[in-house]
Chains A and B, each alone.
Chain A
Amino acid sequence: AQKITQTQPGMFVQEKEAVTLDCTYDTSDPSYGLFWYKQPSSGEMIFLIYQGSYDQQNATEGRYSLNFQKARKSANLVISASQLGDSAMYFCAMREATDSWGKLQFGAGTQVVVTP
């Protein structure tokens, strides 16, 4: 069964605007971690932001913030003030903590294109 669902295959956003990328997850583990990665066309996976299931506050890292709604099993990424360099694939991933630092499970990704 799919554990991470990203329903938006692609999005266009204008430079300087904010964009929200959706991610829902499925787990029965009370302890888990949620990650967002950026993958530009060059292929490397770049870590953006992390949210632990017990974290009380939503994570923020510069222009990235995570809208964590635990009851809805939702972990949406918000990119504020989009830049042309933000054009890339974005992946949501989950680690279930039954094995600390075990495998990540990824969603299918969302392609973001930032236009001038």
Chain B
Amino acid sequence: DTGVSQDPRHKITKRGQNVTFRCDPISEHNRLYWYRQTLGQGPEFLTYFQNEAQLEKSRLLSDRFSAERPKGSFSTLEIQRTEQGDSAMYLCASSSKLAGLPGYTFGSGTRLTVV
């Protein structure tokens, strides 16, 4: 297991289009998190799952955003009707209480550009 994988690494889309990102966590990790990071800022929490249950959603996660983790393994983050303000790096992380430190392992992110 080589860590948290995110696909695609980069996505350019036209305003108004829908996009979907995928995150594959470390297989033993039961928690999965999504963050959004805009240029020059720290990551902002969007949502997280424990197994397939979505436990918390940030107010940042508007109705255009939806995340799923249907079988408690990989997760998808969909943005509908993209806007230019959605341009950001979308980071996924996974964790497990049993994993010890560092606790959270991050993927390399998906960079979204909305034109």
Contact = CB atoms under 8 A, between A and B. Distances in A.
Interface residues of A, number: 24
Interface string B77-115: 000000000000101010111000111111111010000
B56 interface: yes
B42 A103 contact: no
Interface of B: 31, 33, 35, 40-45, 48, 55-56, 89, 91, 93, 95-97, 101-109, 111
Interface of A: 4, 6, 33, 35, 37, 42-45, 47, 50, 91, 93, 99-109
Given A50-B103, A91-B42, 16 more contacts: A4-B42, A6-B42, A33-B103, A43-B111, A44-B106, A44-B108, A45-B91, A47-B103, A47-B105, A50-B101, A100-B97, A104-B93, A105-B45, A108-B40, A109-B40, A109-B41
